[in-house]
Amino acid sequence: MKIFSYIIFIILLALVSPTLYSTNKIDSLLNKIKTLPNDTNKALSLLQLGKQIRKKNIDSSIVVYNHSLQLSDSLKWNKGVLNSLVGLANCYEFKSEYATSIDYCFKAIRLAEKYNNKDIIAVAYMCLGVSFKNQKEYDKALEYHNKALAIDLGLNTKRRIPTHYGNIGVVYSRLKDFDKAIEYYKKALDLEIQLKNTRGQSTHLGNLGVAYKNQKKYTEALDCYKQALKLNEKDNTKEGVVVNLANMGVLYTILKQYKNAEACLKEAIQLSKQVGIKRHLLSGYDALSELYEKSGKPALALENYKLAIAYKDSIFNEDNQKALVQKEMQYNFDKQQAQEKLEQEKKDSIANEEKRRQRIIIYAISGVAFLIFILAIVIFRNLNISKQKNKIISEQKVEVEKQKDIIEEKHKEITDSINYAERIQRSLLANKNLLEKHLTEYFIMFKPRNIVSGDFYWCAELPHQQFALVTGDSTGHGVPGAIMSLLNITCLEKAIEKYHEPNLILDETRNIIINRLKNDGSQDGGQDGMDCSLIVFNNTKTQLSYSGANCEIYILRPSTNETNNTTEKNHYHLRELKGDKMPIGRHQKQNESFSMQTFSLQKGDIIYTLTDGFTDQFGGENGKKFMLKNFKQLLLSIAHLELTEQHQHLENTFNEWKKNVEQIDDVTVIGIKI
């Protein structure tokens, strides 16, 4: 009986599909599908219906695809769910509701990746490319079209590969890179010729014509339009005939061949009336109006302009009507589904009650048998427990001592390894001799959370007796952070071989880190890196250049009495130099360059660099973070002290704030006096 129902549906679908676009016939066919059992065949029928009506009744197609999605999901039919999601994505892209289309695409991709369905992933990428292209986000459009192409090249999906080339060509055309667009259109055309797909050939020829027209290669453009038109006429593809006649009419208008232009546009309009596609009538009358205006026939130009406006209003009213039809169809179908769900729940309730009674009987019998079994075990064990007790205790004592020795040995090995790693890390930190050579007065407060640290400080001599100082905060802390800090230092060392300005050093360091981590085994690759501040002092310490990645530095300068131009003792004002809001590593802003600031220094200036460990530490009476605001006030309050006293004051303040709270991150603060 089921097979007979499906055969009847397929016959009905074939009969109505050529004229499927009226609301009554869609309702009739949808009602026929509702009579089928809720199985994968019914879901497949809904998918076929959604595809059939998509181009002419897009709102109804959305309703049908939603029903298919609900049914496929309830049946746990993954293929149906995937095709429904892609169908909805295409529908919303056609309606120019790109945010919704993109959302459905990513839902389809996530599920397809779970089941390794590369075919669906390629289709979803292609839809994403079209959506981003229509939103003028051409870089993303190219990214997703190329991803779709790569998948289908791997799968050797010959029917879609030329479509991808054509889509990429359209994006380059939007970017006005017509040479590149023509290159991809020709690739697509060559493949369609091999596949003997005349419809695809006509599409790519038409696109080639548009590209040549934009390059003002009118002879080549006209030749492409004529070839495309010939293929459309051979295949009886009326919409393609309309498009190419209209393109030829527009081109003849540009060439001032007004008689040919008029003939092409009138024929396109006449055929559009037969096909019944109003948007082509709108563009046809609009092009004809422009033709008459340029050829000096203002009355005819106005007449055709009014016709174009009329069709524009008609399309708007028709869209409103479609929205009402969609809501009505959605209501009726949801009502039917709710009734079916209620009946199924009643059946499930009866079946579940019967299963519950059977489980109670089984549990009762099993419980009695289990109690008898336990009783037998207890009796048997009591006969042997006294004999085994002393033996077990002795063996346990021996095993405990053995495990204790093993744990102590492992702990010693781990501690020794970490201490050795700490010595290696310290050997790569800024060399004390090099610091004292270039800095007269300074202090470094360096407090790793564990033995080894993700924080680091590093320095290097640059050409022209310049001196670079980096305060860095690597991704992570402990052993992983320490390993990352070693990588960051080696990348900095590599970068200064090539560049000497702080912003260029950070740009190059980021490139090296991303390249070295791209094959780290994670899905995205290279997400780790660091935040840091980089100061470059000139040879006389009268000027510094600064760049930062999510870090800032502070410069405290003694205040000046404006009356007698003298320095006021114990009074300082604070200047903050902020870095860029991006890390050194893979990030959405990784293609942006770091900025550079310069600052003229005076004798007595104090420069402070830091990571976020001090300011993010929880403590105090209320267990809150220390915060940057309090840290700045702290610097202003101790700026008049000697640097050694400032260092000790910072240590004391941090320990008093933290008290019994665990240190949450590595801490680094550096002070330099000019």
**In this predicted model, what pLDDT tens digit does every residue of 602-622 receive, in sequence order?**
999 999 999 999 999 999 998
Q: What are phi and psi of 568, to 5 degrees?
A: -85, 125
pTM of the model: 0.44
Handedness of CA 600, 605, 611, 614 (dihedral sign): negative
Q: What pLDDT digit, counting tens, does each position of 448-481 carry?
A: 998 899 999 999 999 999 999 999 999 987 888 9
- Model pLDDT for residues 30-69, shown as the tens digit of each residue: 677 777 888 989 999 899 898 888 766 888 889 999 999 9
Q: What is the pLDDT, as a whole number, of residue 24?
A: 60
- Which pLDDT tens digit goes with each residue over 67-122? 999 999 999 999 999 999 999 999 998 787 888 999 999 999 999 999 999 999 99
Q: What is the pLDDT of residue 16?
A: 43
Per DSSP, helices labelled H in 75-97 are 78-94
* Contact indicator for 480, 473 with CB cutoff of 8 Å: no
Name the pairing type of β-strands 618-619 and 566-578: unpaired
Does residue 274 surpass a pLDDT of 90? Answer: no
What backbone torsions phi and psi does residue 597 show, to the nearest 5 degrees?
Answer: -120, 150
Three-class HEC string of 12-75: HHHHHHHHCCCHHHHHHHHHHHHCCCCCHHHHHHHHHHHHHHCCCCHHHHHHHHHHHHHHHHHC
pLDDT digits (tens, 9 = 90+) for 115-170: 999 999 999 999 999 989 988 899 999 999 999 999 999 999 999 999 999 999 99
Neighbours of 110 (CB within 10 A): 12
378, 491, 519, 520, 573 from 515: Cα distances, Å: 66, 11, 8, 10, 42
Assess whether pLDDT exceeds 60 at residue 178: yes
* Alpha carbon distance 204, 226 (integer Å): 13
* Residue listed under structure tokens 């934009």: 214
Residue 23 confidence class, pLDDT cut points 50, 70, 90: low
Burial of 393 (0-12, 13-18, 19+ CB in 10 A): exposed
Under the banding of pLDDT at 50, 70 and 90, the label for residue 528 is confident
- Name the phi and psi angles at 658, rounded to 5: -75, -45
pLDDT at residue 506, as a whole number: 98
| pLDDT higher at 655 or 311 | 655
Residue 196 vs residue 569, higher pLDDT: 196
To the nearest 10°, the Cα dihedral for 83, 84, 88, 89? -30
Mean pLDDT lowest among 33-37, 228-232, 393-397: 393-397
Q: What is the rounded average pLDDT of the residues 587-597?
A: 94
Answer whether residue 391 shows pLDDT above 60: yes
Phi-psi region of 623 (alpha: psi -120 to 50; beta: other; left: phi over 0): left
Q: What is the mean pLDDT of the segment spanning 590-594? A: 95
CB atoms within 10 A of CB 625: 15
